[in-house]
C-alpha cells in the first residue's frame, strides 16, 4: 500500500470461535425479531436515544469516506402534518393511477394504502437524504462516490441501532419524495432517500403474515 497518514488498528477485537458463535447468534436472533411497523404509539422517546442511533448510522462505510448522507429528525407536529399531507397526496396518485397492476399485487400481502396516519403519530420521522455532492466551507462542490450504496448502508445501520434500542421503525418511501426538500429546506444537491418512521409500536399493532427467504434461497456458496 502506498504511504498514507495512518494509526494502529487499536480498537479491533477478536473472539474465540465459541464466543463468536454466541455473539453472532444473539445478534441474529435479535435482528430476526425486527418487523416493519405501521401502527405507532405517540409515547415520547428521549432525544439522546435518537442521537446515539444516528451516531451508530454514521459509522457505516462510505465511498472515499465522504459520508454522503444527511438526516433530518422531525419531532414537531406542524412539520409532521405537512409531511403527512404531502406524502398522502403522492400516495393517492400512486395507488389510484401511477402504480402498475403488478406492483399493487405485490403490495397486497402488506395491506398498505394511501393513508399514512403514523406520519403524525410516531414521535420521530427521520428523513434520510443522499448527498450527490458535498460542499466545502468556501462553497466549492465535492463529488461523492457511491452515494446510494453508502446511504443505504448507513440507513441499515440506523434501523438496526433503533431496533437494538427496542424501537420500531418503518422505511417509508412515498414516491416521488421531492416535497421533503421543500418542507425540510434541504438543497438540490441532496436527494431524499427514504423517510424512517421511529417510535414504540402501538399496543395493538399488527403486522403482515409474511416470511423471510431461507438461507438456501438467498445465498449460495462456491468452494472451488
Ligand atoms: N410507497 C407506497 C407503496 C409501497 C411500496 C413498497 I416497494 C412497499 O414495500 C410498501 C409500500 C406506500 O408507502 O404505501
CB of 110 shorter than 6 A to ligand 1:
yes
Output the pTM of the full model. Answer: 0.97
Domain coordinates in residue numbering, the chain: 38-205
* pLDDT tens over the chain, length 224 residues: 789 999 999 999 999 999 999 999 999 999 999 999 999 999 999 999 999 999 999 999 999 999 999 999 999 999 999 999 999 999 999 999 999 999 999 999 999 999 999 999 999 999 999 999 998 899 999 999 999 999 999 999 999 999 999 999 999 999 899 999 999 999 999 999 999 999 999 999 999 999 999 999 999 999 99
Q: Which of 67, 222, 30 is nearest to 144 (CA)?
A: 67
Residue 113 C-alpha to ligand 1 middle, in angstroms? 8
> What was the pLDDT predicted at 175?
87
> If you classify domain 38-205 with CATH, what class do you get?
alpha beta
- How far is Cα 29 from Cα 192, in angstroms, rounded to an integer? 31
| Cβ pair 63, 144 in contact under 8 A | yes
- Residue among 89, 94, 104 to mutate when testing ligand 1 (max atoms within 8 A of CB): 94
Residue 114 C-alpha to ligand 1 middle, in angstroms? 9
- How far is Cα 139 from Cα 148, in angstroms, rounded to an integer? 23
Residue 130 C-alpha to ligand 1 middle, in angstroms? 19
CB of 172 shorter than 6 A to ligand 1:
yes
Amino acid at each position: 500500500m502506498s504511504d498514507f497518514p495512518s494509526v494502529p488498528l487499536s480498537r479491533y477485537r477478536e473472539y474465540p470461535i465459541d464466543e463468536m458463535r454466541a455473539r453472532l447468534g444473539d445478534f441474529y436472533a435479535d435482528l430476526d425479531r425486527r418487523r416493519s411497523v405501521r401502527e405507532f404509539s405517540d409515547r415520547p422517546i428521549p432525544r439522546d436515544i435518537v442521537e446515539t442511533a444516528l451516531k451508530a448510522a454514521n459509522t457505516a462505510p462510505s465511498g472515499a469516506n465522504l459520508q454522503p448522507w444527511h438526516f433530518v429528525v422531525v419531532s414537531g407536529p406542524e412539520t409532521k402534518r405537512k409531511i403527512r399531507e404531502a406524502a398522502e397526496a403522492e400516495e393517492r396518485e400512486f395507488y389510484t393511477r401511477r402504480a402498475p397492476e403488478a406492483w399493487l399485487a405485490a403490495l397486497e400481502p402488506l395491506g398498505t394504502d394511501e393513508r399514512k396516519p403514523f406520519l403524525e403519530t410516531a414521535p420521530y420521522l427521520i428523513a434520510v437524504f443522499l448527498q450527490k455532492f458535498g460542499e466545502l466551507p468556501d462553497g466549492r462542490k465535492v463529488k461523492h462516490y457511491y452515494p446510494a450504496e453508502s446511504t443505504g448502508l448507513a440507513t441499515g445501520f440506523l434501523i438496526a441501532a433503533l431496533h437494538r434500542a427496542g424501537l420500531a421503525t418503518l422505511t417509508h418511501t412515498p414516491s416521488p419524495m421531492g416535497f421533503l426538500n421543500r418542507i425540510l429546506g434541504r438543497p438540490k444537491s441532496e436527494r431524499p432517500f427514504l423517510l424512517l418512521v421511529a417510535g414504540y409500536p402501538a399496543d395493538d399493532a399488527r403486522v403482515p403474515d409474511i416470511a423471510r427467504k431461507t438461507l438456501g434461497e438467498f445465498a449460495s456458496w462456491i468452494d472451488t
